Amino acid sequence: MLINPCLYPLTHVIVPVGWGYCSLTRFSYDLDPCLDLLITDCGVHSNENHKYSIYANFEVATNKMLYDWGSRRIHWIISHLDYDHYSLMANFAIEQNIDVDMCYLPASYSIDLCREAIAHMIAFQVLVLQDARAAILPTYRVHLRCRGELLPQIFLKICRSKRFVAQGDVIPLSRSKEVNLHVIWPNTQIAKDLCKILISEVTELVKQFCKKRKDEKFCLRLFEEFKDSLMHALFSEVPAERPPNSYEMSIYKADVESTIKSLVKGLGGEKLAELYMVAYRNYRNISSIAYAILVSSLKDVCLSAYTCYPYYCPYCPYPHHIALRAELCRLSPLICMSTHSLVTYLADLDDSNIDQAMRYVKLHIPSALRTLALIAPHHGNSWHNSLRSTRPLITVLSRSNLFKGPQPGYLELSPITITTGYNTWISIGTR
């Protein structure tokens, strides 16, 4: 069976999707759970060379969880609205006509000021790509089309209910409250402060960017149109019949950090590109959910990392290679003597806000420092020395090897560091 080297009552599976993130947490009835399946993100940066493997990985894992194991009560954590964090699950839910009982979104999405800031940022990204569309490969248009179609459906169709979560929220995952999801980020006050700053930063970006265009007034008007379209698509309670034509014609690419930075530099110069990256980091920090899944009374813990290629063997009854397998409580009973974090997920937090998040963890949930698996923030691109206070058994870099290397601190943080790539699965089970 593909994803059960650690098939325990609580099984957490990290699915390899290249540059992106996807995890599925399955709860058996032995735990008296509040839900059957908890999904975190599940999206991918588009990569034509590996797309069949990526989609096969996700479909095999999700079908196993949904149909073979009978998961019906589904909750979905959407940490933020970058394409590489929601695209797989959104497309799958639409194709399979799956309703999600509860979607968890950052609390900043419920704050009017932050909604405006988020729409400002994405509208500027679309504006830049619209201006550069002649120089961009046609396949990149897929990202805007997906984004324009998927986002309204996520907010208005796929999710039956929505809950906006913030730092300090505790969500019971079992009725005995032995398994809880503790939200580490966002901090709503910091988000409000950053939203004010972000609006002014993006307004200045648009002003400077449009000054360099042939028709400055048209550029400014187009930005306003994109922003209004996004506000309706993301936050309106009533779906539009169709997006405005100009929004459909524009282009969006998931890899916004590198692609748009280079485009802004080419279209507006080095200084404008630096201003964009400052604004983008603020945008990322107001729209990320970070959390820890805390488990008490562990009787046994299993950790397994293995390589499998479902695209080449769709049913894959056994892993091709088991790189790591450990019955942790039998090897080291101390691991199971106190509350631990099964997994600590830091989404796409930037360096400074990693520090803020870790300060909160130290003060309020120190047990989250003893985590079995730390998911490195922003695929290993973000780092702060405060992470050295954690004691993860494994550090997970959810990334492909096609990009520049991760921050070197992650290679020293734990005894085992795993890059998931396109075929390295990780399974953590406990009972």
pLDDT (tens, 9 = 90+) of the chain, 431 residues, equals 344 456 678 889 999 888 889 999 988 877 778 888 999 999 876 655 566 667 778 877 877 777 766 667 899 999 988 878 888 888 888 888 888 999 999 999 899 999 999 889 988 888 887 776 544 434 334 344 444 456 666 666 788 889 999 999 999 998 888 899 999 999 999 889 999 999 999 999 999 999 988 889 999 998 998 888 888 777 776 544 444 433 333 333 334 445 677 778 887 888 898 999 899 888 888 888 999 999 886 667 777 777 765 544 443 433 434 445 455 555 454 455 456 788 999 999 988 889 999 999 999 998 888 888 999 999 998 999 999 998 888 899 998 765 567 888 998 898 888 888 888 888 887 77
Angle CA(110)–CA(17)–CA(142) in degrees, nearest 5? 70
The answer as to whether 2 is a domain residue is: no
Q: Residue 333 belongs to what domain range?
A: 10-430
The answer as to whether 186 is a domain residue is: yes
pLDDT attached to residue 237: 61
pLDDT attached to residue 5: 56
Per-residue three-class SS string for the chain: CCCCCCCCCEEEEECCCCCEEEEEEEECHHHCECCCEEEEEEEECCCHHHHHHHHHHHHHHHHHHHHHCCCCCEEEECCCCCHHHCHHHHHHHHHHCCCECEEEEEHHHHCHHHHHHHHHHHHHHHHHHHHCHHHCCHHHHHHHHHHHHHHHHHHHHHECCEEEECCCCEEECECCCCEEEEEEECCHHHHHHHHHHHHHHHHHHHHHHHHCCCCHHHHHHHHHHHHHHHHHHHHCCCCCCCCCHHHHHCCCCCCHHHHHHHHHHHHHCHHHHHHHHHHHHHHHHHCCCEEEEEECCCCCEEEEEEECCCCCCCCCCCCCEEEEEEEHHHHCHHHHCCCEEEEEECCCCCHHHHHHHHHHHHHHCHHHHCEEEEECHHHHCCCCHHHHHCCCCEEEECCCCCCCCCCHHHHCCCCEEEECCCCEEEEEEEC
The answer as to whether 4 is a domain residue is: no
The answer as to whether 339 is a domain residue is: yes
pLDDT attached to residue 126: 80
The answer as to whether 1 is a domain residue is: no
pLDDT attached to residue 174: 87
Q: How many folded domains does the chain comprise?
A: 1
- Strand pairing category for 179-185 and 340-345: unpaired
The answer as to whether 5 is a domain residue is: no
pLDDT attached to residue 430: 79
The answer as to whether 287 is a domain residue is: yes
The answer as to whether 3 is a domain residue is: no
